[in-house]
């Protein structure tokens, strides 16, 4: 009997590695883990319960086991969920990626509703709870606070699009800083925007560490001597002194959120 051979070679014109089928390829991931950098893409993120948190699953993307001095995790809060506090001496920064959450803390009104693109900084030892009756996805950065400057860091909330667009001499990207750039704070969170075709002018090599989440767009990230295609949802860890460079591609803006330690003597 005649067999229908019309689809026999269909993978030639509809290959498994085409963008729409990447997830179907068994054993394939764009994630990499190197000595001085990592790329962690959504298909390899593993979520599990966060100790003390209710109805919340989290995936740690960056931890000291890699050599970082901070943690970065994505937390997905379901209905009737609430957070636990970090260990003593740890400061916390929370940025809302999806949904909304209520922060109960030492705030003038007692609580604040945080929506997408809004954030909160919690200094060490400050009592607080994030909760939601709907759902929310948060990106969280934590580290052991290192004292410096005058005065103690203060709890605050904010909204990215209310932060001023800062001058970046020699660079083209738009930069917003979500924490005060004063010696009281030992890190900052940058939000950086690139239009398609724009790229970092400085081929950066520096002592600071980074944790990055690409919020929008796509492009090529250079890390050490490798060039990675990246897209929204990807996470990058950069160790001190790893050569780093980004170029935005495609038709839409690239925006990323970036942890950077600042204002402390490296010794």
Question: Site for ligand UGY (CB under 6 A): how many residues?
Answer: 8
Based on the shown chain and the rule CB under 6 A, indicate whether residue 244 belongs to the binding site for ligand UGY: yes
160: tokens are 């990215």
Listed residue (69, 37, 101, 26) closest to 242, CA to CA:
37
Based on the shown chain and the rule CB under 6 A, indicate whether residue 260 belongs to the binding site for ligand UGY: yes
177-216 footprint of ligand UGY as x/- string (CB under 6 A): -------------x-x-----------x---x-x------
d(CA 183, CA 131): 31
Whether the Cβ atoms of residue 187 and residue 142 lie closer than 8 Å to each other? no
Shortest Cβ 159–ligand UGY spacing (Å): 21
Q: 92 or 210: whose CB is closer to ligand UGY?
A: 210
d(CA 214, CA 162): 20
Q: 214 or 258: whose CB is closer to ligand UGY?
A: 258
The C-alpha R_g of the chain, in whole angstroms, comes to 20
- As beta bridge partners, residue 143 has 70, 91
Based on the shown chain and the rule CB under 5 A, indicate whether residue 36 belongs to the binding site for Mn ion: no
Q: Is 120 helix (H, G, I), strand (E, B) or coil?
A: strand
Shortest Cβ 168–ligand UGY spacing (Å): 8
Shortest Cβ 86–ligand UGY spacing (Å): 25
Q: Which does 56 bind (CB under 5 to 8 A by kind): ligand UGY, Mn ion, none?
A: none
Based on the shown chain and the rule CB under 5 A, indicate whether residue 204 belongs to the binding site for Mn ion: yes
Q: 112 or 175: whose CB is closer to ligand UGY?
A: 175
d(CA 174, CA 169): 11
**Residue 39, number of CB atoms within 10 A of its CB:** 22
Residues near ligand UGY (CB under 6 A) are 190, 192, 204, 208, 210, 244, 258, 260
């Amino acid at each position: 009997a005649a067999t229908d051979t019309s689809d026999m070679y269909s993978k030639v014109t509809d290959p498994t590695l085409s963008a729409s089928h990447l997830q179907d390829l068994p054993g394939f991931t764009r994630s990499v883990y190197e000595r001085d950098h990592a790329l962690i893409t959504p298909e390899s993120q593993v979520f599990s319960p966060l100790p003390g948190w209710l109805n919340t699953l989290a995936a740690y993307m960056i931890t000291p086991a890699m050599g970082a001095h901070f943690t970065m995790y994505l937390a997905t809060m379901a209905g009737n969920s609430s957070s636990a506090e970090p260990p003593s001496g740890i400061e916390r920064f929370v940025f809302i990626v999806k949904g909304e959450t209520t922060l109960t803390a030492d705030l003038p009104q007692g609580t604040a509703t945080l929506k997408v693109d809004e954030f909160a900084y919690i200094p060490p030892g400050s009592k607080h709870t994030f909760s939601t009756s709907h759902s929310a996805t948060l990106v969280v950065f934590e580290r052991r606070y290192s004292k410096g400057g005058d005065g103690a860091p203060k709890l605050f909330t904010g909204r990215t699009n209310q932060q001023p667009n800062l001058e970046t001499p020699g660079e083209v990207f738009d930069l917003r800083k979500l924490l005060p750039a004063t010696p009281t704070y030992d890190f900052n969170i940058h939000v950086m925007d690139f239009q398609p075709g724009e790229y970092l002018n400085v081929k950066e090599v520096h002592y600071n560490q980074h944790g990055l989440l690409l919020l929008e767009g796509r492009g090529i990230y250079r890390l050490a001597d490798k060039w990675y295609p990246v897209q929204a949802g990807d996470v990058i860890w950069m160790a001190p002194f790893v050569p780093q460079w980004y170029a935005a591609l495609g038709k839409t803006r690239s925006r990323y959120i970036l942890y950077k330690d600042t204002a402390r003597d490296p010794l």
